[in-house]
Structures are given as C-alpha cells and as structure tokens.
Amino acid sequence: MRIADVRVRFFRYRPPNPLVSSVGSRRVRLLCLVEVASTSGLVGVGESWVNFPSWVAAERHATVVEGVAPLLVGHDATDVVDTHHRLKATLAPVGRQSGITGAVSQALSGVDLALWDLLARERDVPVYRMLGGGRSRVPVYASGLGPQLDEEIVRAQMARGIRAFKIKVGFDPVEDYTQVARLRHMVGEDARIMVDANQGWRTPAEALQAIKRLEPLQLDWVEEPLPCDDWEGMARVAAQSPVPISAGENLYGREAFAWWAHRGAFTIAQPDVTKVGGFTEAWAIAQMMPAYGLAWAPHFLGGAVGLAATCHLFALAPGGIAVELDSNPNALREEVVEPPFPTQVEAGCIMLPDAPGWGITLREDWLAAHEVAWHEAWQEADRSAAQGPR
Ligand SMILES: [Mg+2]
C-alpha cells in the first residue's frame, strides 16, 4: 500500500457566541482535515489545529500542499513511525529557519493522524487496539467555560455525568475569583475545577499572587499561567505554587516536553495530537512523562477527528488524567460525524467503539455543505485576534 494523494480541506462554523480567552476572541471556528489516500483506494483522515486565529488556514494550506505532500506521495503508507521521523527530520529545520516551528508541527500532526487512520482502516481494526491498547472508557472534563460563566452550559455537562470543569481566567482578578467561585458553588465541593490563564499573567510574581487568590476555591491545576516561551518563569511558579501547574498545548515536539519536564516547568503535561507533531509524537510524550514523575492530560479544542484521536491516545498511554472536551457548541465536532462517537458522553466518559481507524463516520453531505476554500477562510478571519485581549 503506497500513498497516492494528500489533500487538505477546510470547514467553517460560526458559533452563536464568540469564544473568549485571555488571548483574544473568535467568531469563526475552522476545521482542517488532512486526507491521505492510498493506492489501494482507502483514505485516512487527520486533523490539523487551525482553531485560532482563522487566517492560519492560508499558512496551513501552503505548508501541507507545498511542504508535506511532496515528501509523501509514492512512499510506503504502512511505515507510519519511520515516515513520521523522516518528515520531522526534514521539516523541523525548515520551521526553525522560517520561524514557523509550530505551524510546521501542526501540519505534520494532520498528516500523522491521517497515516495512523489509514493503516488501521487497511487492517480493519481501531487504532488503539492495533497498537495494543485495551481501555475503551475515556474519562473527560468539560473545558471552554468562561470567562463569564454560562450556567446552562455547566448544567448540560453535569447532566452527562461530568464532574470536572475548566474555566478561563487571566482577566480582572476580582472578576476571575467571582466566576470561579460561581462555578464552585454550582458544581459542589466534590467536583474538580481547573483554571486556564492562557498565558495571561506577565510575571511569576503576578501569577503566584493570582493563584494564591484563587487557591481557596480548591483547584486541581492552573494552566499556562505565563507565556509559553518563559520556561524559567514557569519553573519558578511551579516550584512555589500551592496548586499544580499544567502546560504543553503550545509546546512542539517531544524534545520541548523533555526540556520542560527536566526543569520542573510544569507538573501536568498537555500535548495536543493536532499540534505537537501528531499521534506518534503525543504518544511518545505521554509515555515519557511518568519517567519524570509527572502526569499528563491531553489538550484538545478542535473537531471530531482530533477528539477521536485524543481518546485513542488516552486509551493507550498510562498516567493520563482525563481528555479535554470543549463545552461550547461546535458543529465541527458534533454535526460532522454520525453519532455517537466521539460526541456521546455517558457517566462522564466517552466509549471507544470497535470500528476501524479512529472509529468515526464523517458525514460527506455535511462536509460538502460546509467546506470553504483556504482563501475564503482567511478572508473571513476573526480580526479581533490581532487586537489582543478583549
Ligand atoms: Mg489551555
């Protein structure tokens, strides 16, 4: 089985309300699917992160079409791990030289996911079982809450049996406390609460002051208190914080995770299969973290394909806390697939099916109706992203 073709496609969804974090707000959500077709007629599907800002569609299209596809077509489609390392060795220097390390890694992620899906489909087995995984129940936590708490969304997640919640902070300190306190009051003392600052505090002193203010609300972790390139500051915060520190959604490659882990810059690692270099890379990171005495919790905030792959990763690697599940309505996650996997949650868990590949069935009619060209996505980009925090 050889690789016959590589395609990259974009799909657009406009949520009812803009999504707000300390980085900015977005009114358009995109899904980037990478499809790898084999000479045997099968197609594997992967997802590449294009969540924010939406003008990255232009870069992603160019990187996959010009940078990645020529390295794949005609090659063996079954040697996924070797292909991953070959692509990484070729493209990582290009990314460093041109200042797009993360973007190259995100493009590689989409291809890597598609290759695993393709191989498992060819063997007619789920990815996680093909690689030796046995767990089929995947616990999830509800993320994407705040900064203004929507109680209806929280109640809907509680009705699905979810007992862990993550809310945005990094805005006005008094308002941060008020919103987290509202959440604690709603979900009760036994539920788990995490907060995500999205790199919103500027110095270790500011971050530690904010964390200590929120600590009485019993937090399981504080996510990205400082800019993701400040590992020294993160190490100082992690050493002094009364609450565990998590990070990793903006780190690229296992080497970066090893660097941070070795220096104590986080206590919970958060690789994202659609960003970090794909399933191959995230699996290596998840397996590595226990050796440092660290936990991991996969980051994810995209569409159905990436969510399914994240669940497969969780089923394979030990030491995971729970899979991140965006609480906000997103047709790119919920309507793009035939239900129930991966959108159905029961007793706080997603169940992995026995279907081959990622185990999902994409709705071709839905895809056709929502597809946009890369330059259409770019023209409709959420320009508030360039305006900084709200
Ligand atoms: Mg986050």
**Do residues 144 and 120 share a domain?**
no
CA 193 – ligand 1 centroid, Å: 14
pLDDT at position 380, please?
Answer: 54
DSSP 8-state code for residue 146? -
In this structure, are residues 93 and 275 in contact, taking their beta carbons and an 8 Å threshold?
no
CA distance 225 to 208: 9
- Structural domain including 234 reads 128-362
In this structure, are residues 41 and 355 in contact, taking their beta carbons and an 8 Å threshold?
no
CA 162 – ligand 1 centroid, Å: 19
CA 90 – ligand 1 centroid, Å: 29
pTM for the full model?
A: 0.96
DSSP 8-state code for residue 346? B
**Do residues 226 and 310 share a domain?**
yes
> CA 83, 10, 354 angle in degrees (round to 5)?
60
Given a cut of 70, the residues of the chain with pLDDT beneath it are 378-390
CA 48 – ligand 1 centroid, Å: 17
**Do residues 65 and 120 share a domain?**
yes
CA 148 – ligand 1 centroid, Å: 16
pLDDT at position 10, please?
Answer: 97
pLDDT at position 384, please?
Answer: 46
User: Computed over its alpha carbons, how large is the radius of gyration of the chain?
Assistant: 20
Burial group, residue 68, by CB count within 10 angstroms (0-12, 13-18, 19+)? buried
pLDDT at position 134, please?
Answer: 87
Q: How many residues does the chain have?
A: 390
**Do residues 150 and 216 share a domain?**
yes
Q: Which residues surround ligand 1, an ion (CB under 5 A)?
A: 196, 223
**Do residues 145 and 256 share a domain?**
yes
**Do residues 105 and 132 share a domain?**
no
pLDDT at position 23, please?
Answer: 78
CA distance 282 to 248: 11
**Do residues 310 and 379 share a domain?**
no
CA distance 108 to 89: 11
CA distance 306 to 303: 6
pLDDT at position 234, please?
Answer: 98
CA 198 – ligand 1 centroid, Å: 6
CA 197 – ligand 1 centroid, Å: 7
CA distance 49 to 57: 9
**Do residues 34 and 107 share a domain?**
yes
* DSSP result, 248-263: -TT--SHHHHHHHHHT
Q: What is the mean pLDDT of the chain?
A: 94
Q: Which residues pair with 221 in a beta bridge?
A: 194
Structural domain total, the chain: 2
**Do residues 82 and 98 share a domain?**
yes
pLDDT at position 22, please?
Answer: 76
